[in-house]
Amino acid sequence: MISITGKSLTKIDRNDPRYLAILAAHLRLVTKDSTIWGQDAQPEAALRLNWIDLPETSRELLPALDALCAKHRDKETVILCGMGGSSLGPEVIAQSFKKNLFVLDSTDPNYVAHALDCDLEKAIVVVSSKSGSTIETASQRALFEAAFTNASLKPQDHIVIVTDPGSPLDKASRSDGYTVINADPNVGGRFSVLSAFGLVPAALIGVDVSVLLDNASDSKSAFIADPNIVVDIAYLLAYCAGQYLSFTDFGSDMPGLSDWAEQLVAESTGKNQVGRLPIVIEKSEDSPNVFSIAYAGTADLVVDADLASQFIIWEWVTALIGAALAIDPFNQPNVTEAKEATSSLLKEWNGVLPTFTATNKEGEVEIFGEGANLEISLKSFIQSIPEGGYVAVMAYLDRKDDAAIAQIRSELSHKIGRPVTFGWGPRFLHSTGQFHKGGQQNGAFLQITGDSNTDIAIPGQSFGFKTLVAAQALGDGKALASRKYPLLRFNLTNRSAGITELLNAVKAL
């Protein structure tokens, strides 16, 4: 059952020609018309629309998933190596069903160490990548292959590969004797939660994925028969909301859904300088001047539905927003910039992480930017925010042990009265990273990095994870700096103490 409520519903005008245009796009989407988003987008859209059918076609995976779960019923720890759409969907499924899933979507060596801290004999690792070329996932796969081998375990008994048929990862994995489950190649990553990318890890942690598919299919049938709900949402977000959308899980039983929606909406719409930037917040009242979206309680828009229905609703709505904004929701033209800059730095460094000299230092925080101390540096940074702009905080840290740094989002937003997003690096590069470069050019960017006491080698590479995460942070920094965006980096020489000092400096503004 789907319903929408909220303070913004009075703004809907179903006689507005723009509303009728979205309705027309909806009717064409039902038929998988790839011309909806224009001539330039048509070739890619033609190869990216099978997400529409996943609530039904993914049922074909059920026998293979049953067999996979039976084979690994003795496993106690499930680890997912994946980025972006390959990880955010499974994570919200696990959290919503209160199941244990360790999502390795980071290259920070401190966080990577947590994934290795388990009984490998009782572990099953899912490596998810459309092509296998993503540097994070390729590095993680090599790490676990070596870890199992060094523990006198056969990697093929502990690693499952999810990838597109015929991909380099598919061919190599089959040749090496791994279990491979193919996903539909005509589905983009951020639309793939109801494909093998979402369902394989979900099944392994004990979620009945057939129920997910049933719920999504029923809801899709309902809004195809009565399109008002999805067209209403798309109309509000395209024409009534403005650049910023706040999302909160508060009051719902779906923790992490907003993080999933953030990637879907930001990466799909953040182009041509006309996108919609989701801001994941704690409660709706935390962003009083931003169009608020929730799944329970009160907000400008409350979308009430079960988890699988939320997935298909937001995918559908995002496609319609793309039509309304005249953008291609299926490409990500700016994501490769950070990847290329990372590769360039790794080549330049030749496997050895350079020593960087900070402009100034206060306590355990090095300042790479203007300001003799944290207070002066933060005030200078705040003054550089463009009119009507936002701040993106990007933390290349351990999202388990360094979780306290996430408090900076609400603290900073409260102090400056501006929208502030928070992302864990490098995973946000597969999410809001597209919007940062392709959306409205009014962002200011605060990078937070941290020293690591240890490093973890990447088998087959001349560099370890410590060097890789530094190259990703500085590579993305270069991509942002090339656009003359305001950019400030704080490096924590002691993470715990540095986080406390940085939060105190923000609170003192």
Q: Which residue among 325, 357, 383 closes a domain?
A: 325
| Domain match, 398 and 296 both | no
| Domain match, 402 and 422 both | yes
Number of domains in the chain: 3
**What is the CATH classification number for the domain harbouring 449?**
3.40.50.10490
Mean pLDDT score, 466-478: 97
What angle, rounded to 10 degrees, do the helices at 307-325 and 257-269 form?
A: 20
| Domain match, 373 and 301 both | no
In a domain, 65, yes or no: yes
| Domain match, 428 and 340 both | yes
In a domain, 122, yes or no: yes
The CA distance from 396 to 450, in Å, is 7
In a domain, 46, yes or no: no
Summarize pLDDT for 143-193 with one digit per residue, the tens: 999 999 999 999 999 999 999 999 999 999 999 999 999 999 999 999 999
The CA distance from 447 to 439, in Å, is 19
State the residue for tokens 């299919």: 217
| Domain match, 293 and 355 both | no
The CA distance from 490 to 362, in Å, is 10
Structure tokens at 46: 């033609």
In a domain, 38, yes or no: no
| Domain match, 232 and 202 both | no
In a domain, 409, yes or no: yes
3-state secondary structure of 161: strand
The CA distance from 249 to 175, in Å, is 43
Query: Residue 351's closest CA among 464, 247, 182?
Result: 464
| Domain match, 129 and 153 both | yes
The CA distance from 408 to 392, in Å, is 11
| Domain match, 366 and 288 both | no
The CA distance from 139 to 238, in Å, is 39
Summarize pLDDT for 428-456 with one digit per residue, the tens: 998 899 999 999 999 999 999 999 988 99
The full length of the chain comes to: 509
In a domain, 36, yes or no: no
| Residues spanned by the domain of 69 | 54-211
| Domain match, 363 and 436 both | yes
Instruction: Calculate the dihedral angle through the C-alpha atoms of 261, 189, 179, 60, rounding to the nearest 10 degrees.
Output: 80
In a domain, 220, yes or no: no
| Domain match, 321 and 451 both | no
Summarize pLDDT for 51-84 with one digit per residue, the tens: 999 999 999 999 999 999 999 999 999 999 999 8
Structure tokens at 368: 């790479």
| Domain match, 101 and 205 both | yes
pLDDT band at 334; cut points 50, 70, 90: confident
Q: Which ranges of 191-328 does DSSP label H, i.e. alpha helix?
A: 196-204, 209-225, 228-235, 257-269, 307-325
CB 312 within 8 A of CB 194: yes
